[in-house]
């Protein structure tokens, strides 16, 4: 018999496809569990076996887990503006429960679950470690907390199961962080909460994929591990590096908390006018998040040998260069595009 398959859920997303790339680089036989089989075939060709299904459908999970030893459970609902609270809970919490049940029934031996630092909530101290209280601020974080509980329960019943908590992720296939930040670079000015002094952790998808493979082999069952790129970045610096990579010159005025609270209704109005759901639905919870520090301790996973290779400045510049190249190729083939440098590129990754 051949080597058992490794199953990756959510393989067409940013993190999932990075995990698949890392596994294929090690010549591991990979099966992907996806809703869009054609999209997966376009991304990976014949290199992977495709199991089409949905986390909400247990009958599609059972055959996907058959003959599998390792499971990387990356799939999940992320965008609170696209998914209702019920949909997010059903996918992230209940979907994880169904997958764990299918994996145990099929005889899988190990599971790594891609959770999130959102389980800690907002208004955090600097350097949050894995033993900090879990106090999610919204439905996304709450659904991740419940999914983590299911993973710990599975570990207590004998499955080797681990929770991984990444911060903001960017890289090939990013549809959120870098594209949204690059879109903001079209503005003549960008007010920064408290001058952009608050800390924000990021990690490149390729480093995060290596962290997945590492904890699968050496992580402790039932435990959780934070993952960042190991840097300590101010939000203002990250945005300035993105502007620098796009050759944009913006004014970054500082905006204090009280002023942000007063003008929030205006931001909501402008968001509706511009068709920007994130601004149109900016609530007090999201606003508090913009005035919070998000810096996490990764000494626990570093003790396993995790050593990130891609720093934020170089990584962001690299991703933006690739996006601009895609746009240039597209324009050469079909004529000038009216979309700004990163905007067109992000659509290719959908």
Question: What pLDDT, in 10s, does the model give residues 204-246?
Answer: 999 999 999 999 999 999 999 999 999 999 999 999 999 999 9
E strand or H helix at 39: helix 37-44
Q: What is the pLDDT at residue 325? A: 57
E strand or H helix at 211: helix 205-218
Render pLDDT for 305-335 as a digit per residue (tens, 0 to 9).
999 999 999 999 999 988 765 544 344 444 4
- Cα–Cα distance between 154 and 173 in angstroms, integer? 31
* SS3 sequence of 229-280: CCCCCEHHHHHHHHHHHCCCCCECCEECHHHHHHHHHHHHHHHHHHCCHHHH
Instruction: Count Cβ neighbours within 10 Å for each residue of 238-256 and write b for 16 or more, e otherwise.
Output: bbbbbbebbebebeeeebe
pLDDT above 60 for 342: no
Residue in this structure with the two tokens 């508090």, named with its chain if needed? 288
The structure's pTM equals: 0.89
Q: Chain-centre distance of CA 249, in angstroms? A: 28
Handedness of CA 39, 45, 48, 50 (dihedral sign): positive
Q: Which CATH class is domain 5-177+200-230+294-312?
A: alpha beta
- Cα–Cα distance between 63 and 65 in angstroms, integer? 5
Mean pLDDT, range 62-66, rounded to an integer: 95
Q: What is the pLDDT at residue 2? A: 60
> Would residue 140 show up in a list of annotated catalytic residues for this protein?
yes
pLDDT above 50 for 27: yes
Q: What is the pLDDT at residue 38? A: 95
- Cα–Cα distance between 228 and 301 in angstroms, integer? 10
How do the domains of the chain map onto residue ranges?
5-177+200-230+294-312, 235-293+313-347
Mean pLDDT, range 66-70, rounded to an integer: 96
Active-site pick, 72, 120, 140, 233: 140
Q: 196, 216, 230: which is closest to 304 by C-alpha?
A: 216
E strand or H helix at 286: helix 284-290
- Cα–Cα distance between 33 and 30 in angstroms, integer? 10
pLDDT above 70 for 336: no
Q: What mean pLDDT, rounded, does the chain reach? A: 88
Q: How far is CA 84 from CA 120, 263, 311, 350, in A?
A: 21, 26, 34, 20
pLDDT above 80 for 294: yes
pLDDT above 90 for 45: yes
Question: Does residue 74 contact residue 11 with C-beta atoms inside 8 Å?
Answer: yes
Mean pLDDT, range 89-94, rounded to an integer: 96
pLDDT above 90 for 264: no
Render pLDDT for 150-191 as a digit per residue (tens, 0 to 9).
999 999 999 999 999 999 999 998 988 888 888 888 888 888
């Amino acid at each position: 018999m051949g080597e058992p398959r490794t199953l990756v859920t959510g393989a067409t997303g940013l993190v999932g496809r990075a995990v698949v790339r890392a596994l294929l680089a090690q010549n591991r036989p990979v099966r992907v569990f996806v809703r869009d089989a054609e999209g997966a075939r376009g991304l990976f060709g014949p290199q992977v076996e495709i199991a089409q299904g949905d986390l909400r459908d247990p009958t599609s999970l059972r055959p996907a887990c058959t003959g599998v030893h390792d499971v990387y459970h990356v799939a999940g609902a992320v965008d609170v503006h696209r998914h209702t609270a019920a949909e997010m809970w059903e996918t992230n919490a209940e979907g994880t429960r169904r997958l764990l049940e299918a994996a145990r029934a099929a005889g899988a031996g190990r599971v790594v679950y891609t959770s999130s630092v959102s389980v800690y909530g907002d208004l955090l101290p600097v350097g949050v470690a894995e033993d900090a209280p879990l106090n999610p601020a919204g439905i996304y974080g709450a659904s991740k907390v419940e999914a983590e509980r299911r993973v710990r329960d599975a570990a207590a019943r004998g499955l080797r199961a681990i929770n991984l908590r990444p911060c903001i992720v960017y890289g090939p296939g990013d549809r959120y962080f870098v594209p949204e930040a690059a879109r903001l670079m079209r503005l003549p000015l960008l007010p920064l909460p408290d001058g952009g002094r608050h800390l924000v952790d990021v990690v490149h998808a390729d480093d995060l994929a290596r962290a997945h493979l590492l904890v699968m082999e050496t992580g402790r069952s039932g435990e959780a591990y934070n993952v960042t790129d190991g840097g300590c970045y101010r939000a203002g610096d990250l945005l300035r590096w993105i502007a620098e990579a796009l050759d944009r010159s913006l004014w970054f005025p500082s905006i204090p908390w009280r002023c942000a609270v007063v003008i929030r209704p205006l931001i909501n109005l402008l968001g509706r006018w511009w068709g920007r759901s994130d601004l149109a639905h900016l609530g007090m919870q999201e606003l508090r998040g913009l005035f919070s520090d998000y810096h996490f301790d990764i000494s626990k996973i570093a003790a396993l040998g995790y050593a990130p290779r891609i720093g934020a400045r170089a990584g962001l510049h690299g991703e933006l260069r690739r996006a601009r190249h895609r746009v240039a190729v597209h324009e050469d083939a079909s004529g000038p595009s009216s979309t700004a440098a990163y905007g067109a590129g992000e659509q290719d990754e959908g």
